Amino acid sequence: MDLREFIVSQTDAGQRLDVFLAGASGFSRARIQRLIADGHVLVGGRPQKPRHRVNAGETVRLRIPPATPLDLVPEAIPLDVLHEDDDLIVLNKPAGMVVHPGAGRTSGTLVHALLAHCKTLPGIGGAERPGIVHRLDRDTSGVLVVAKTEAAHQSLSRQFKARDVEKRYLAVVHGEVRQDAGRIEAAIGRREHDRKRMGVRERGGRQARTAYRVIRRLPGMTVLALDLETGRTHQIRVHLSHIGHPVVGDQVYGGRRERSRSPVPGPRAPRQMLHAWRLGFHHPRTGNWLEFTAPVPDDFLRLAGPTLSGIE
């Protein structure tokens, strides 16, 4: 049992217990709330609710129970490893692979493959998603980092939350994007009448910013490099659809053009043409800045052209 102790400072006084402890420990607020509910958090020797307001000088004790064994069977699925050390593993995820198990997907995921490849993953960051710091959609290819230790998971999670990581994507979109570069600023939230889909919301959405730059213009299509300045669910796909240039092959946010499967100039897209090309972050142990790029897959190049330049 890992026991940690935190003293509330004058600066932190008045915060909710779950907010204070999430900031002090590096765990997500949701995980802290689960630990509080399970009786693993004491304030001044007594249990409290997540909404308890902490006072200066109070001692908050956090007990981290041993990891719960995963009820998952490791699967020896080949992985394209870009980098691996004792703290983390960086992968080039292929399109079509789901990152973690969920409803209707109980095998063949990246987590199943990681459990076979890495023997220390179970329980990291929660039993359901061991070591997963961020995710890519099933049909999005590209670079993904996974933590191999609890400390690495906390460090990387903090960096993603603080937007201290660099995330650059490539996309092929419908239509001619006239501006050579620009920024999309539009809040994103779940749609009121379809909670599985995200959309631009004037009220109740979360701030989202995506910067883009034109790499190549093709008949009826444009190749873009995109930098995520925030990390909302489906952000790039929603933002590009919002400005009238949905990702080619996107069956969810592509509008009538994609839902009716109208042909586009050139080869038909086998999936949504979105690739996580580059990821940069600070190594959780050394603090050194690291950058990794995932080779552009063949299906993307067949649509965008055999070579791409100007994406540095």
Partners of 7 in the beta sheet? Answer: 59
CA distance 28 to 21: 9
Count the alpha carbons within 13 Å of 175 in the hemisphere toward its beta carbon: 14
Torsion of CA 17, 23, 24, 26, to 10 degrees: 120
- Kindly tell me the burial class for residue 263, based on how many C-beta atoms sit within 10 Å of its own C-beta (0-12, 13-18, 19 or more): exposed
The two tokens of residue 241 are 């659809």
Q: Would you call 2 a catalytic residue per the annotation?
A: no
Chain CA centroid to CA 129, Å: 12
CA distance 237 to 136: 12
In b/e form, how buried is each residue of 201-231, taking b as 16+ CB within 10 angstroms?
Answer: beeebeebbbebbbbbeeeebbbbbbbbbee
Q: Which of 12, 18, 137, 250 is catalytic?
A: 137
Q: Would you name the residues annotated as active-site residues?
A: 137
